[in-house]
Amino acid sequence: MRLNRFAVAAVLAASALALTACDPEDSSSDASGSTPAATSSATAGGSAPAAPAASGSPKPVASGGKSTGGGTTGGTTGKTTAPAADCAANAAGRTVVEATENAYMTHVWMRAKSTKFVCGPDVPNDGYWQAQGDPQLYSFDNDVKTYLLDENLKAKSVDLFVFMKAQEACLKQAQPAAPYRCFGNQYEVKVGAENKVLSITQLYRP
């Protein structure tokens, strides 16, 4: 029986050594070994939502010169279709006619077309007066004031006969007596009742 006890003791001792050989650090090592993989996986998974942020804000859609907020863009492209300021402001309240015929020997009168002012970003010389419609008959007031441009483009007051004679020369494509010149047969007028001219000033047209 003593041998058997020794044998049992030896078996127990061997079992203890076997349990000691199974290092508990192995399981913790396995657990810790799996942790970096899980961490790496979590890191990779966490970085995925950040990808769109790296691309910046979305590109704006072209909107015909307007921002997506509804305001106009700071710059413009292409040809401007309208002037920045009212180019017709200088024409406001003015009446300009283009003479086509006159007479002054017996009765003093003039035929002239009405005009409209044309201007804009593509119009040279700050705009011009464009004749339109049929000529209308104008008579002259007894106290009419008449002005002609001299060679220096200065308006000079002249009597009605000198004015009509110079106008006639221009209508016939001739040169009036110096110092007056022809500049397109257009005149700024002030007209009273019954198309009676109260004042008339020769205009320069390049």
Per-residue pLDDT of 33-82, as tens digits, reads 444 443 433 344 444 444 444 444 343 333 333 333 333 333 333 333 44
- Phi and psi for 120 in degrees, rounded to 5? 155, 175
What is the pLDDT at residue 85? Answer: 57
Predicted confidence (pLDDT) per residue in 156-204, tens digit: 999 999 999 999 999 999 999 999 999 999 999 999 999 999 999 999 9
Cα–Cα distance, 43 to 49 (Å, whole number)? 11
Whether the Cβ atoms of residue 144 and residue 200 lie closer than 8 Å to each other = yes
Provide the β-strand partners of residue 147: 157, 201
State if pTM tops 0.75.
no
